[in-house]
Amino acid sequence: MSSSLLALIALIASALILLSLPALFLQPALLLPSGSAIHDDGVLHTLIALAWLTAAVQIVNGLLIARLNAIGRQVFAAILSLPPGLTSIAVLLAVPADGIWIAAIGVLLGTLGVTAISLAAQRESFLWRRPTLGSLRDLTITRSAWLSVIALTCFSSYAVIDSFWAPRAGQGVLSSLGYAQRILIGAGNLVIIGPSAIAVPFLARIVAAGDERAFRQAIIKIVLGVATCGGCIALVLSYWSDPIVSLLFQRGAFAHSAVHMVASALAHLAPGMAAMLIGVILMRALFCVPGSYGWSAAIGLIWSVLYFSLSGLFVRRQAAGLADAYSLSWGVTILAASIILWKRSALIGSSRSAAA
């Protein structure tokens, strides 16, 4: 089964690579306003191709990492999130090239390396036989799998939405959001990687035991812990946003005006980062509750629509406005997700009674 699933994911990744060909021409036209200076960037098409290729590799890597988590190797799976960024830094330091494309190559090489390592670490589970067309036809992708894909768009659609609205918000806004988001992703991963990897198996065991009260108590403790850590980091990033950005980025062509724009985006994004970390826990907990994939998909769609709509309303305020749209969207989403999860958790006890 694992071998057939890997073959199917590889086919999807191959299709994504093929889709990169029309994306080279359609993506700039659809996402960028007609007067954007990015159209004239000489490496734009190179970056698009590298991004789509990296995304295809990440799909395969995602399956391998998910299996490591499923078999109880969460620490190893968490460590494998580091090489893409580290490789990008190493390539930037080692290769005397002028251009952002070299960083994209570093991410691609790091992702390929992680995929090779994770495959080698569990090769006996995937390569014991060659998958055939018959085995692929027998592999059923349930409705819940597609709903989970929709649900998780709340953690990925921001990139597409930012690509649409940021060029319309002003020159340098997309870059400012990107710099600020890199800082937030690094800080947020420190808080969420451990709890999210451990929480899902723990909550799944509680659900299997049918203990509604224990499930709710565990959720409260986990959410409070993540909220406390995430809130503290958000306060630090908001209060000291200017010195943090200056320390990390103000050198070379990164002028004071650029520092101010990135620092403003960072300060306004920080509350959304803390709320997003809570959203990760709530969403994964909801996946553990039977029959809740439809609700999870609704949450994912609601966040994407809400963020797109609010970004359109706040676009005139440039980077700070889009950052506020992000934070407000996550605030509303975690409130809705908390209510839904609390009500859906009542099914845990009733499912045990029905089974009895």
Q: Quick one: pLDDT at residue 4?
A: 63
Instruction: Give the amino acid at 345.
Output: S
- At residue 334, the pLDDT reads 93
Q: Token pair for residue 6?
A: 């890997």
pLDDT in tens, 290-324: 888 888 889 989 999 999 999 999 999 888 899 99
Average pLDDT score over residue span 35-56: 74
Which two three-digit tokens encode residue 205? 């065991």
SS3 at position 98: coil
C-alpha 266/C-alpha 301 separation (Å) is: 25
Residues 6+ apart with CB under 8 A from 118: 61, 64, 65, 68, 77, 80
Report d(CA 237, CA 244) in Å as an integer. Answer: 8
Q: Average pLDDT in the 70-83 region?
A: 72
Most confident of 65-69, 146-150, 317-321: 317-321
Give the per-residue pLDDT at 249: 67
Cβ count within 10 A of residue 42: 8
pLDDT band at 160 (very low <50, low <70, confident <90, very high): confident
- Examine the pLDDT at 32 and tell me if it is beyond 80: no
Which 8-state DSSP code applies to residue 172? T
What is the DSSP code string of 289-312? STT-HHHHHHHHHHHHHHHHHHHH
Which uninterrupted H or E stretch holds 188?
helix 173-209
Tokens matching residue 262: 């990135």
CA 22 to chain centre: 24
- Report residue 337's pLDDT band, with 50, 70 and 90 as the boundaries: very high
Average pLDDT, the chain: 79
Give the predicted TM-score (pTM) of the model.
0.72
- Round to whole Å and give the CA distance between 124 and 6: 13
DSSP string, 18-86: HHHHHHHHHHHHHHS-TT-GGGG-TTHHHHHHHHHHHHHHHHHHHHHHHHHHHTT-HHHHHHTTSHHHH
Q: Tell the residue number behind the tokens 């992703």, with chain if given.
A: 185
* Residues 56 and 112 sit within 8 Å (Cβ to Cβ): no
Provide the 10 A C-beta neighbour count for residue 45.
15
Neighbours of 273 (CB within 10 A): 27
Domain boundaries, the chain: 1-140, 144-356
pLDDT digits (tens, 9 = 90+) for 177-186: 888 887 888 7
Q: How far apart are CA 304 and CA 285, in angstroms?
A: 20
pLDDT at 128 over 60: no
Return d(Cα 72, Cα 298) in angstroms, integer: 29
b/e code 151-164 from CB counts within 10 Å (16+ = b)? bbbbeebbeebbbb
Instruction: Report the length, in residues, of the chain.
Output: 356
Closest CA to 275 of 245, 306, 316, 244: 306
Per-residue pLDDT at 103: 77
Mean pLDDT of 191-195: 75
In this predicted structure, what is the pLDDT of residue 136? 46
pLDDT at 326: 94
Tokens representing 162 are 């930012």
Q: Which amino acid is at 68?
A: L
Secondary structure element (H or E) that encloses residue 189, with its range: helix 173-209
pLDDT of amino acid 133: 47
For residue range 197-242, list pLDDT tens digits in order: 777 778 888 888 888 888 889 899 999 988 998 889 889 988 888 8
Handedness of CA 30, 32, 36, 41 (dihedral sign): negative
- For range 8-19, the mean pLDDT: 76
> Please, which pLDDT band fits residue 99 given cuts at 50, 70 and 90?
low
Q: Alpha carbon 163 to chain centroid distance?
A: 15
Q: Is the pLDDT of residue 251 over 60?
A: no
pLDDT category of residue 10 using cuts at 50, 70 and 90: confident
Q: Over range 4-23, report the average pLDDT.
A: 74
Instruction: Say how far apart CA 253 and CA 256 lie, in whole Å.
Output: 10
Q: Is the pLDDT of residue 68 over 70?
A: yes
* Confidence class for position 271, pLDDT limits 50, 70, 90: very high
Q: What is the mean predicted confidence (pLDDT) over 250-279?
A: 81
